């Protein structure tokens, strides 16, 4: 994860085609103690620029965003996996929902004032971490569920082929895993693969 700690100084990338507005954001960040600030005024190939700069946090300011500009930002958000605070002058419900779906951490309508930059940036980082933790927990839960299904299938194959109980099938899988110094899940997967080859 790119942002390790709130105590370490964050590098912030500000993306804004308007130099005056970018300077407002930069001033707010510097007032808040952020000295590692990079400004990008040309959004052409922004995904590549972000990859080259590798910031911890991204602040994007769109004065009058059209649908194409917003979609470009949302693609960046999905690709770069960084906290993104997006400032827009106007918006609609569909754009807000699309921003949330794309993983934008803070979506601020008509809120570009110097004193608001730091709290919004802090919120974006916090929300990004909370969302990343939820994603990790969901992925772990999915993986565990898939693992259980694999073990259940392997037990079923043993019960049917050997005419043994579920408890005995599980005990055999465990013994095999211990004897081979492998994970139970790996043994179960090997058994399923072997059974599939025999059925061909």
pLDDT in tens, 93-128: 887 787 777 778 887 777 667 777 777 777 778 777
Same-domain status, 49 and 143? no
Confidence at residue 8, expressed as pLDDT on a 0 to 100 scale: 63
Last residue of a domain, one of 96, 115, 135: 135
Confidence at residue 4, expressed as pLDDT on a 0 to 100 scale: 45
Please state whether the predicted TM-score (pTM) of the whole model is above 0.75.
Answer: no
Q: In what order do the strands lie in the sheet with 12-15?
A: 37-40, 12-15, 57-62, 84-88, 106-109
The answer as to whether 7 is a domain residue is no
Same-domain status, 76 and 171? no
The answer as to whether 6 is a domain residue is no
Same-domain status, 60 and 16? yes
Same-domain status, 32 and 46? yes
Q: Which domain holds residue 16?
A: 12-135
pLDDT (tens digit per residue) in 140-179: 899 999 999 999 999 999 999 999 999 999 999 999 999 9
Last residue of a domain, one of 109, 135, 161: 135
The answer as to whether 97 is a domain residue is yes
* 3-state secondary structure (DSSP) of residue 84: strand
Same-domain status, 21 and 46? yes
The answer as to whether 175 is a domain residue is yes
As for how many domains the chain has, the answer is 2
Q: Any residues with CB less than 8 A from the CB of 46 and at least 6 apart, and which?
A: 15, 40, 72, 76
Same-domain status, 113 and 145? no
- Check pLDDT > 50 for residue 11: yes
Q: How far apart are CA 86 and CA 109, in angstroms?
A: 8
Q: Are 156 and 195 in contact (CB under 8 A)?
A: no
Same-domain status, 68 and 161? no
Which CATH number do you get for residue 170?
A: 1.10.10.10
Which CATH number do you get for residue 54?
A: 3.40.50.2300
């Amino acid at each position: 994860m790119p942002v390790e700690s709130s105590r370490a100084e964050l590098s912030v990338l500000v993306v804004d085609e308007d130099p005056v507005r970018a300077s407002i954001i930069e001033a707010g960040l510097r007032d808040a103690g952020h000295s590692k600030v990079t400004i990008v005024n040309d959004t052409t190939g922004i995904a590549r620029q972000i990859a080259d700069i590798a910031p911890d946090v991204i602040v994007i300011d769109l004065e009058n965003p059209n649908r194409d500009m917003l979609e470009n930002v949302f693609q960046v958000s999905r690709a770069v996996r960084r906290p993104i605070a997006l400032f827009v002058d106007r918006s609609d419900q569909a754009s807000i929902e699309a921003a949330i779906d794309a993983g934008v951490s803070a979506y601020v309508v008509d809120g570009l004032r110097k004193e608001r930059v730091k709290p919004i940036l802090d919120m974006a980082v916090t929300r990004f971490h909370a969302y990343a933790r939820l994603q990790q927990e969901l992925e772990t839960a999915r993986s565990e569920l898939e693992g259980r299904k694999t073990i259940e299938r392997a037990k079923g194959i043993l019960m049917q082929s050997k005419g043994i109980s579920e408890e005995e099938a599980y005990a055999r899988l465990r013994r095999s895993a211990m004897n081979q110094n492998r994970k139970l899940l790996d043994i179960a997967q090997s058994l399923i693969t072997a059974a599939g080859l025999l059925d061909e």
